[in-house]
Amino acid sequence: MTLPAGLNLFDLTGRRALVTGSSQGIGFALAKGLAAAGAEVVLNGRDAARVEAAAATVPGARALVFDVTDHAAARAAVDGFEAGIGPIDILVNNAGIQHRAPLEDFPPEAFERLLQTNIASVFHVGQAVARHMIARKRGRIINIASVQTALARPTIAPYTATKGAVGNLTKGMATDWARHGLNCNAIAPGYFETPLNAALLADPAFNAWLEKRTPAGRWGQVDELVGACLFLASDASSFVNGHILYVDGGITVSL
């Protein structure tokens, strides 16, 4: 296998990337980063107006509106796009939600929403896209995990469970699909300034704790995830499979 040299390893010109949950936050930042590296990006979400508004700000971007928690809808959307527009070369499974409550009082309906959005969607969209990638013998799948893939904190046990599952499903995808030419990996962000963390960002006590707990001494900025995404989406990671790449300012390696 002959690979391009130097920075060309990271060039995504001519490739198309679908990013789920990408109208804001991490997903939107990754979509913009992939576009800057040459990819045609496809933004996804359930709210058509928000997705289309976000796509309008990214050169050449498209909007693909469907519910990632609905297996049939994900399959139909992906199959229709592949038939009508063209191949999806890169998938970033980013859609996710959070709900905080003591585990003994955690609402079962909130637990179900977390399961469907944070882990079932990775299966639904991942399978739909992978079937086409397998036929082409190439493709990149990047799942968004979390520091909670490895660690737990009070009031988010179900979220921790879903992100642990994302890590293991990523390993399973690599185990099943690497033989077909797919690279399946995960990015595990630490604490980033996103709408999902709005409640924590507004809590002075949590901010003080995080600055002491994280070796880098600060929150991450969403643009700092772009490099990891480009690495895993490009030829630079051609022999990387089933890996969970922590981008967390060192929080998972320090007590």
CATH class of the domain at 11-245: alpha beta
C-alpha separations of 228 from 110, 213, 237 in Å: 31, 23, 10
DSSP, residue by residue, 86-149:
----EEEE---------GGG--HHHHHHHIIIIIIHHHHHHHHHHHHHHHHT-EEEEEE--GGG
**Cα(193)–Cα(199) distance, rounded to whole angstroms?**
11
The count of residues in the chain is 255
Q: Where are the domains of the chain?
A: 11-245
DSSP category for residue 247: E
How far apart CA 173 and CA 130 sit, in angstroms, is 9
| pLDDT at residue number 4 | 65
List of residues 6+ apart from 80 with CB closer than 8 A: none
User: What torsion do the CA atoms of 77, 238, 117, 149 make, to the nearest 10 degrees?
Assistant: 180
Q: Using a CB cutoff of 8 Å and minimum separation of 24, what contacts does 84-88 make?
A: 86/16, 87/16, 87/132, 87/136, 88/16, 88/17, 88/18, 88/42, 88/129, 88/132, 88/133, 88/139
Strands 182-189 and 139-144: parallel
Catalytic residues: 159
Amino acid 107: pLDDT: 98
Strand, coil or helix: 19: strand
Per-residue confidence in pLDDT tens, the chain, 255 aa: 666 666 689 999 999 999 999 999 999 999 999 999 999 999 999 999 999 999 999 999 999 999 999 999 999 999 999 999 999 999 999 999 999 999 999 999 999 999 999 999 999 999 999 999 999 999 999 999 999 999 999 999 999 999 999 999 999 999 999 999 999 999 999 999 988 888 899 999 999 999 999 999 999 999 999 999 999 999 999 999 999 999 999 999 998
Give the per-residue SS3 of 123-134: HHHHHHHHHHHH
Structural Rg of the chain based on CA atoms: 18
- Among residues 52, 188, 49, 159, the alpha carbon closest in space to that of 96 is found at 159
